[in-house]
Amino acid sequence: MLDNKGRTPLSSAAESRHEKVVKAILEREEVKPGKPDNNGRTPLSYATWLGREGIVNLLLWREEVKPDMSDNDGRTPLSYAVWSKHEGIVKLLLWREEVNPDWPDDNGQTPLSLAAKKGYDEVIQILLGPEEVKPDKPDNNGRTPLSYAAESECEGAVKILLRREEVNPDQPDNDGKTPLMWAPCSWYQNMGALLQCHKSVTHSARGDLGDTTSRKSPPILLFPAVLFMGPVLVYLVL
């Protein structure tokens, strides 16, 4: 029996905390545990979104359940677990070979981009474990995880991402904006001057920062700007 949204009793039960109810439903032969609703979301999708770890375990034991099935927006159970910061469930899903940790949704955003946008440092660390994850993968707008971390002023996320050699802090998006340009600057004096003097933040430029003779802009312009900058912006420059 489906409701007007195409949801099954199992789907509704998976959204609750009642593991016994879910277990009882799963014991019925006619039940299809992987059946999606009108939005393409499965019982597993709802359970991962709301952090029902016990129910997630029950569902993952069923062969009919596809742990990497995307909904109508292209989001997988992993995407929902990441967005809601359920670290235990993220680890459970990543144990499954079928799960693609770098799967982009319809906006091109990967689980890592979602975690960077929210500033979930520990989730980011977990997602960077699998080799197939590309830490600098752009979405449909050309924005990288670092870009979102910078915009949200997530200091920890910025630090973690900048430790990866594959991450280019000067990567422009489709509008030509780099991660540094996405960092909020409305309350930082001299931010406009800093962006003008340091339009490009490359790995080589960061390495030469201590050498004042190799910089195009006078060193005196850099330090007054840094005094008014938040920690996120300092990491991007340095």
Say yes or no: 93 and 113 in one domain. Answer: no
Provide the pLDDT for residue 190: 29
CA 209-235-170 angle, to 5 degrees, is: 75
Q: In this structure, are residues 44 and 77 in contact, taking their beta carbons and an 8 Å threshold?
A: yes
% the chain with pLDDT above 70? 77
One domain, residues 154 and 61: no
- pLDDT tier at 108 (50, 70, 90 boundaries)? very high
pLDDT of residue 207: 46
Q: What is the mean pLDDT of residues 114-125?
A: 96
Residues 85 and 111 in one domain: no
Coil/strand/helix, residue 74: coil
Whether 133 and 185 share a structural domain: yes
Note down the domain range covering 205.
Answer: 105-238
Q: What radius of gyration do the chain's Cα atoms show?
A: 22
Question: Do 122 and 236 lie in a common domain?
Answer: yes
Judge whether residue 20 has pLDDT over 90.
Answer: yes
Please tell me whether residues 92 and 124 are part of one structural domain.
Answer: no
What is the mean pLDDT of the segment spanning 178-200?
A: 50
Tell me the pLDDT band of 237, cut-offs 50, 70 and 90: low
Q: Phi/psi class of residue 231: alpha, beta or left (left: φ > 0; alpha: ψ in -120 to 50)?
A: alpha
The confidence score (pLDDT) of residue 197 equals 35
Write the pLDDT tens digit of every residue in 129-177. Answer: 988 899 999 999 999 999 998 888 888 888 898 888 898 888 999 999 9
Q: Do residues 3 and 22 share a domain?
A: yes
**pLDDT value of residue 232:** 55
User: Domain boundary residue among 80, 100, 120?
Assistant: 100
Alpha-carbon separation of residue 213 from 205, 218, 235, 236 (angstroms): 12, 9, 22, 21
Provide CB contacts within 8 A for 143, sequence distance 6+.
113, 173, 182
Identify the domain boundary among 51, 71, 100: 100
Least confident of 20-34, 169-183, 190-204, 222-236: 190-204
Q: What is the C-alpha separation between 194 and 100, in angstroms, rounded? A: 39
Is the model's pLDDT at 205 over the cut of 60?
no
Same domain membership, residue 218 and residue 125: yes
CA proximity to 194, closest of 168, 218, 162, 158: 218
Task: Please count the CA atoms within 13 angstroms of the CA of 41 that sit on its side-chain side.
Answer: 21
CATH number of the domain that residue 16 is part of: 1.25.40.20
For residues 35 and 123, membership in a common domain is answered with no
Residue type, position 53, single letter: E
Residue 115 burial (CB count, 10 A):
29
Confidence class for position 230, pLDDT limits 50, 70, 90: low
Output the pLDDT for position 10: 94
What's the predicted TM-score (pTM) here? 0.79
Q: How many domains does the chain have?
A: 2
Buried b or exposed e, range 158-186, using 16+ CB within 10 angstroms:
bebbbeeeebbbbbbbeeebbbbbbbebe
Regarding whether 67 and 21 lie in a shared domain, the answer is yes
User: Do 118 and 95 lie in a common domain?
Assistant: no
Residue ending a domain, among 78, 100, 122, is 100
**Quick one: 73 and 124 in the same domain?**
no
- pLDDT-derived band at 62 (thresholds 50, 70, 90) equals very high
Contact 40, 28 (CB under 8 A): no
